[in-house]
């Protein structure tokens, strides 16, 4: 893979609790991306919506959803990324998968569970922050509420793209947009945020605001508000590294450990 990377932000209206319906719908929407992009990013819990009470009804379909991701990645000749509900040894996880060519590149269990929505009563949290390689690019994938925690998101000179998948309600959209921009500036990286639209089964409204910022906090591109849309944007690694060389903020960063 070259110094350029094409990233596709897939902003969706999700059908509440209908895994098969969502997967069929997304399959059709992704068809034009075949051989046209490198990385396809889906929202948090893209197969079901942000469900908690009925997680036990969704989790048995995790293998089917993961197999669908593998098939789509192979068919489209692109890496596919998004989170689903999965059960493991009696615990439920909001688990992000990244799949390439029919294989799992990595998985990440959401670290910060949304207390105000009682997510911590329904899901177990993960403890491992990960970074995966996509050609020359280093990518750190996180999930929704993780965005509010800059220490967990901190660039330790180990990634070039910080990526969030989310179901982030419209009522807090200003916070979403502000924090995405802040994470880009403070970490000198591209930041991708992919969110859903529509109204979920709990009556919460989502505006989308799926967005990509560069390391200077400048908008590279975004999806239209309240619109089901796929936007593909091209990133340049040489430009990012040149900016880091000219303005090496990381040399003055504080050292720390996460407990």
Enumerate the active-site residues: 44, 110, 144
Distances in Å between the Cα of 141 and the Cα atoms of 72, 111, 197 are 19, 11, 21
CA dist., res. 259 & res. 82, Å (int): 26
> DSSP character for 89?
T
Question: Which of 106, 101, 57 has its CA nearest to residue 82?
Answer: 106
Write out the H or E segment, with its range, that includes residue 187: helix 173-187
Q: Is residue 220 a contact partner of residue 231, using CB atoms and an 8 Å limit?
A: no
Question: Which of 14, 17, 36, 37 has its CA nearest to residue 26?
Answer: 14
**Count of Cβ atoms closer than 10 Å to residue 162 Cβ:** 25
Write out the H or E segment, with its range, that includes residue 139: strand 137-143
Q: Is residue 145 a contact partner of residue 125, using CB atoms and an 8 Å limit?
A: no
Question: Which of 40, 42, 48, 59 has its CA nearest to residue 17?
Answer: 48
Q: Is residue 163 a contact partner of residue 180, using CB atoms and an 8 Å limit?
A: no
> DSSP character for 192?
E
CA dist., res. 98 & res. 195, Å (int): 17
């Amino acid at each position: 893979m070259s110094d350029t990377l094409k990233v596709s932000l897939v902003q969706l209206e999700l059908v509440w609790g209908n895994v098969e319906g969502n997967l069929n719908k997304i399959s059709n929407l992704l068809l034009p991306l075949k051989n046209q992009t490198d990385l396809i990013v889906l929202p948090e819990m893209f197969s079901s919506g942000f469900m908690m009470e009925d997680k036990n009804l969704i989790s048995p379909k995790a293998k089917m959803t993961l197999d669908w991701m593998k098939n789509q990645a192979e068919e489209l000749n692109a890496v596919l990324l998004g989170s689903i509900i999965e059960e493991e040894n009696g615990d439920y996880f909001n688990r992000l998968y990244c799949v390439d060519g029919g294989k799992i590149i990595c998985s990440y269990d959401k670290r910060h569970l949304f207390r105000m929505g009682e997510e911590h009563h329904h899901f177990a949290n993960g403890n491992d922050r990960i970074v995966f390689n996509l050609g020359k690019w280093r990518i750190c994938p996180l999930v929704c509420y993780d965005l509010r925690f800059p220490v967990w998101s901190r660039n330790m000179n180990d990634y070039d793209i910080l990526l969030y998948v989310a179901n982030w309600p419209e009522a807090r959209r200003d916070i979403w947009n502000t924090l995405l921009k802040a994470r880009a500036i403070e970490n000198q990286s591209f930041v991708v945020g992919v969110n859903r639209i529509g109204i979920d089964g709990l009556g919460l409204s989502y505006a989308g605001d799926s967005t990509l910022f560069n390391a200077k906090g400048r908008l590279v591109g975004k999806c239209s508000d309240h619109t089901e849309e796929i936007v593909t944007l091209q990133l340049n690694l040489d430009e990012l590294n040149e900016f880091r060389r000219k303005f090496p903020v990381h040399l003055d960063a504080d050292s720390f450990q996460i407990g």
